[in-house]
């Protein structure tokens, strides 16, 4: 554990929302030839990376020249909200929680981070905390070109996000195998610390499978993830390559220039680099982004056990003869593990042939799998070793993929050209509204895009005309009623999460 006098910090920015596409990257090594289904146009292009030179110890020029063009600078604008007194009649009209005692005024702030191009057609991996809460995102590429970006999907439990710019033939990073990373191996951190664009630093891997509890602590302060049962996956690669605020979302690469991690956090007494930096392994980055591409949310397979990491101090009190491994302390409910014949007291030694002496590594290996996929578990039971094949389940106990809740289509709102989703009561309380539905997509040829300057994706509609909107049905009925009254347009009012400034726009409906 890191001494609690040190401050562990997520190092970069803030956020926005959107939709999704990405890549598939599968790697195998045959001599000095790398075969990959790598990010190209779409998700299934085979690229042969033959005879890629490996830098000699102390020679980082190849890795730097290969990886730096794929790392971008992300600039985020967000709104800092400040509460001010407002007459209660306005609170009632705009749907704000009266508990705060008034309306909000906002102050714009800017922050920056890094990202890694993962496909030639503009998809970029970064940290969730880099883009979270941003009202505007600007991406500056290695060749100094500037683009407006939108958030494609996020996963707070791994702190990974995907954003997109509209461009083609971009220099996409090559994914390496983070399972092959070794302590003492040379690595480079590529990013944009302190707004210094395209900065490369060198160091070694100091440790692997680190759990620093930063995501757990952060998620406890925020709302829960979309999927029940989602918990932080922390199995960081620790490095002493210099990483500072602004490096978040940037690349950690090996001497081949291959991505083995996304730089995410530092441990420091003052918020600046002090020799401890942490990166999300590329194996997790690939899994998360592929899931966002295919399903719109992250699919996690669950073994269904209560694991405990064994060590020299606890093995006796846990009635185990082994001093290392993952003890199955309990199998609550009808879990995948129980169905496969695993038992309480079994000690897991390997997952798919990979040794699991630490709980973070064990959780990482399981988190790479989807519901319905099989995993080979090697266990020690009463002194004997056996292998058990387990078919993982989703967090609802089934083996199927859990789809992201569907939203209404644009046609449901006629020529307005919007897609809308409902908001849970817990979200409303966090945002500070009593009612509302969120716009998830806006068509470029709809009336909203044409007429409403201040309504964008993420806007929360609280009122249409005189009708308070608390569901998709309320919104549809309000539009239908306005048409019935032969009105040519309606007044749409609402707020943005994290801003809480009121907006009202007149929009045509016919």
Active site residues: 129, 159, 248
Burial of 506 (0-12, 13-18, 19+ CB in 10 A): exposed
Give the DSSP letter of residue 12: S
C-alpha distances out from residue 216 to 158, 231, 264, 304, Å: 10, 7, 14, 19
C-alpha to C-alpha distance for 164 and 74, rounded to whole angstroms = 11
Q: 3-state secondary structure string, 238-305?
A: EECCCCCCCCCCCEEECCCCCEEEEEEEEEECCCCCCCEEEEEEHHHHHHHHHHHHHHCCCCCCECCC
C-alpha distances out from residue 486 to 29, 450, 465, 475, 478, Å: 67, 21, 14, 17, 13
The token pair at 307 is 């694991």
Give the 3-state secondary structure of residue 130: helix
C-alpha to C-alpha distance for 333 and 305, rounded to whole angstroms = 9
From first CA to last CA, the distance across the chain in angstroms is: 62
Find where tokens 């009925």 sit.
477
Taking CB atoms within 8 Å and a gap of at least 24, the contacts of 469-478 are 469/435, 469/436, 469/437, 470/435, 470/436, 470/437, 471/422, 471/437, 472/408, 472/412, 472/420, 472/421, 472/422, 472/437, 474/437, 475/413, 475/420, 475/437, 476/408, 476/412, 476/413
Give the 3-state secondary structure of residue 371: coil
Give the 3-state secondary structure of residue 341: coil
Q: 3-state secondary structure string, 217-245?
A: HHHHCCCCCCCCCCCCCCCEEEECCCCCC
∠ CA 460-462-465 to the nearest 5 degrees? Answer: 125
C-alpha to C-alpha distance for 176 and 165, rounded to whole angstroms = 24
The token pair at 245 is 């605020």
Query: Which among 154, 144, 160, 148 is positioned nearest to 197, based on CA atoms?
Result: 144
The token pair at 510 is 């016919």
Radius of gyration, alpha carbons of the chain: 25
């Amino acid at each position: 554990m890191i001494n609690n006098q040190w401050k562990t910090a997520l190092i970069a920015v803030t956020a926005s929302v959107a939709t999704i596409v990405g890549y598939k990257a599968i790697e195998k090594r045959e001599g000095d030839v790398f075969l990959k289904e790598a990010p190209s146009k779409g998700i299934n292009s085979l690229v042969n990376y033959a005879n890629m030179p490996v830098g000699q110890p102390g020679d980082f020029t190849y890795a730097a020249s290969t990886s730096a063009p794929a790392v971008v600078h992300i600039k985020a604008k967000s709104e800092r909200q400040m509460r001010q007194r407002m007459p209660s009649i306005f609170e009632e009209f705009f749907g704000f929680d009266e508990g705060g005692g008034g309306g909000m005024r906002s102050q714009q702030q800017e922050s920056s981070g890094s990202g890694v191009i993962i496909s030639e057609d503009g998809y970029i991996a970064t940290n969730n905390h880099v883009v979270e809460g941003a009202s505007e995102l600007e991406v500056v590429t290695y060749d100094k070109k500037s683009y407006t970006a939108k958030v494609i999907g996020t996963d707070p439990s791994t702190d990974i996000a995907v954003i997109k710019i509209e461009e083609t033939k971009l220099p996409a990073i090559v994914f390496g195998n983070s399972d092959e990373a070794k302590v003492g191996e040379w690595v480079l951190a590529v990013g944009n610390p302190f707004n210094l664009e395209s900065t490369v630093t060198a160091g070694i891997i100091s440790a692997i499978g680190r759990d620093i509890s930063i995501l757990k602590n952060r998620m406890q302060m925020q709302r829960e993830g979309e999927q029940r049962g989602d918990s932080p996956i922390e199995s960081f690669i620790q490095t002493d390559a210099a990483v500072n605020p602004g490096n978040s979302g940037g690349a950690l690469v090996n001497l081949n220039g291959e991505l083995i991690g996304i730089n995410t956090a530092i441990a420091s007494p003052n918020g600046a680099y002090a020799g401890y930096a942490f990166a999300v392994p590329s194996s997790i980055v690939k899994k998360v982004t592929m899931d966002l591409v295919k399903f719109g949310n992250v699919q996690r397979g669950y073994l269904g056990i209560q694991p405990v990491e064994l060590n020299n101090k606890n093995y006796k009190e846990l009635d185990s003869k082994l001093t290392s491994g993952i003890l199955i302390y309990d199998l609550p409910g009808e879990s995948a593990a129980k169905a496969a014949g695993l038992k309480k007291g079994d000690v897991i030694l390997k997952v798919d042939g990979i040794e699991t002496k630490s709980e973070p590594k064990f959780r990482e290996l399981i988190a790479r799998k989807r519901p319905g996929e099989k995993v080979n578990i090697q266990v020690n039971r009463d002194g004997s070793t056996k292998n058990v094949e387990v078919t993982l389940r989703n967090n609802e106990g089934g083996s199927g993929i859990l789809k992201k809740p569907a939203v209404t289509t644009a046609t449901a709102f006629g020529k307005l050209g919007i897609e809308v989703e409902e908001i849970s009561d817990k979200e409303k309380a966090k945002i500070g509204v009593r009612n509302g539905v969120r716009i998830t997509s806006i068509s470029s040829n709809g009336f909203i895009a044409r007429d409403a300057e201040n309504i964008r994706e993420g806007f929360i509609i609280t009122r249409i005309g005189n009708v308070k909107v608390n569901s998709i049905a309320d919104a549809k009925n309000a539009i239908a009623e306005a048409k019935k009254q032969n009105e040519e347009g309606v007044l749409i009012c609402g707020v943005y999460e994290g801003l809480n400034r009121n907006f009202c726009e007149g929009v045509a409906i016919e």
